[in-house]
Structure 1
């Protein structure tokens, strides 16, 4: 990569995006830290200041559900910094529920943010990444490999992102752009809190699925009690930016590696189904 290198990262107001922005700046990148609401940049800039890299972090408004906002942010980045050497698709939103109860609206909303937003940012950035022989890194999830109960909409969107990037990677490589996906597991960040879930209300509204949802929630809350730090989950994002030969698929922890490996070796799906059935109290 060139000595002067610029990366655009989406969803940097908290969690992995914030940590990746600071870590990339520490690694010498000029970071365009984008978020839907720049008024929420205080935590990011405080972290960048504490790390001594605030001068390398530039906040930009970008709403991944608005193509005009995406195009404007990419154009302003190139105009201000002369090039766009890398993009990190990180912005995302979770949803908890099941299709019979929730209906279609949460599914469409999840796809807009987690899938179509990634595709639109990628489309806008590719001419500049191609010119720079750059990097495209996307934060997906172990939920983009293993379908998880009551995460149907979220997992569907993340599966779609994984398929899109896996198909794009060899095509992008022909024009010098390296594509990687980073798959975190449970991460101790504001991602879960930002969903503002009223768990008792969700369970009350779940009808015949209430016992399964309660079992799932109890198990999930315990897993997030042992979650990976956002800074540790962001480290492989920066490695994908910096490595001379980054792999396509990168897990953010040993647990995530083993979880994904179990799915990829499960040709008939029985092992994953047996595992996730336990999460919802199924026999």
Structure 2
């Protein structure tokens, strides 16, 4: 399974953040495709939903502990996979966390936490996996976001981390290809999962605590509710990711829906940034 050649047999795949949402759906889809699937999560007490989903789908997968913010946890998990299965063919960097707020109101600790999980977690897992992926001609598949292309109001910390992910992997992509490792970033838009719920947003409290930003918060929350009303399913995204394991030609950047493609197109074709900022300015302008 090199950068442009799918693996001829079942691959051994490690997935992070598999307790809910995209990670859970990806683990089930990868196992259904016949691959050896090691689905990891920080807290194994939250494995029940994944076990139930795997049982309902009639697939077997392994569940293991891995905390992407902990060097020893990552190194131990990767070493165990290689020791028990003899190889590692792909990692799916999925673990992530929301961080909603703007810089004046958001504690610096929230910025650091967002970078630690969403960015350094990807770096940590990729670094540990690379020697084994070189040996197998494997792939690094990373769940980024349309927020890794377009900076979004009240997502200062989250988008900063996802922008960093995109820059890191875009830089790694040509270098990894020289040693036979494929690199791909996956960019979902709105997805119907527990990700937003896990952000712990209380809309009334968010508005009450926003001070001079209250009108912008109201407009943002209204726009966000509309976008998630038509959200893509986590199963759709998981199936797409599973398909990338066997794709004959692995692209660097993949949007998971037409909505996601439409969302990032202005930025990717916007040399001076004026088009994308004109769009997002409307997100925080209260309706007349």
| CA RMSD of superposed structures (Å) | 1.1
Residue 219 (structure 1) shift:
0.8
Q: Within 2, Cα distance between the matches of 1:66 and 1:38?
A: 15
Residue 4 (structure 1) shift:
3.4
Q: Deviations over 1:110-152 (max 9, x none)?
A: 0000000100000000001110100100000000000000001
Q: Within 2, Cα distance between the matches of 1:278 and 1:4?
A: 47
Equivalent residue for 1:115?
119
Equivalent residue for 1:34?
40
Equivalent residue for 2:183?
179
Q: Within 2, Cα distance between the matches of 1:163 and 1:131?
A: 25
Residue 176 (structure 1) shift:
0.5
Q: Within 1, Cα distance between the matches of 2:125 and 2:40?
A: 12
Q: Within 1, Cα distance between the matches of 2:8 and 2:86?
A: 12
SS at match of 2:63: strand
Q: Within 1, Cα distance between the matches of 2:278 and 2:246?
A: 39
Alignment check: 8 A CA contact 1:182 1:236 kept: no
* 1:110-259 equivalence runs, <5 A: 110-259=114-263
* 1:5-154 equivalence runs, <5 A: 5-53=11-59, 55=60, 57-154=61-158
Q: Within 1, Cα distance between the matches of 2:67 and 2:237?
A: 23
> RCO higher in 1 or 2 (8 Å CA, sep ≥ 6)?
2
Alignment check: 8 A CA contact 1:236 1:250 kept: no
Residue 282 (structure 1) shift:
6.4
Gaps of 5+ in 1: none
Q: Would you say how many aligned residue pairs link Structure 1 and Structure 2? A: 281
Alignment check: 8 A CA contact 2:218 2:286 kept: no
Gaps of 5+ in 2: 1-6
Q: Deviations over 1:143-182 (max 9, x none)?
A: 0000000001000000000000000011101111000000
Residue 244 (structure 1) shift:
1.6
Q: Which moved more, 1:96-105 or 1:152-161?
A: 96-105
Q: Deviations over 1:194-252 (max 9, x none)?
A: 11212211211111111101110111011111100001122221122111211000000
Q: Within 1, Cα distance between the matches of 2:172 and 2:72?
A: 23
Residue 102 (structure 1) shift:
1.1
Q: Deviations over 1:59-111 (max 9, x none)?
A: 01000110110001101111111111000000000011001111311111100
Runs of 4+ with >3 A deviation: none
Q: Within 2, Cα distance between the matches of 1:65 and 1:2?
A: 33
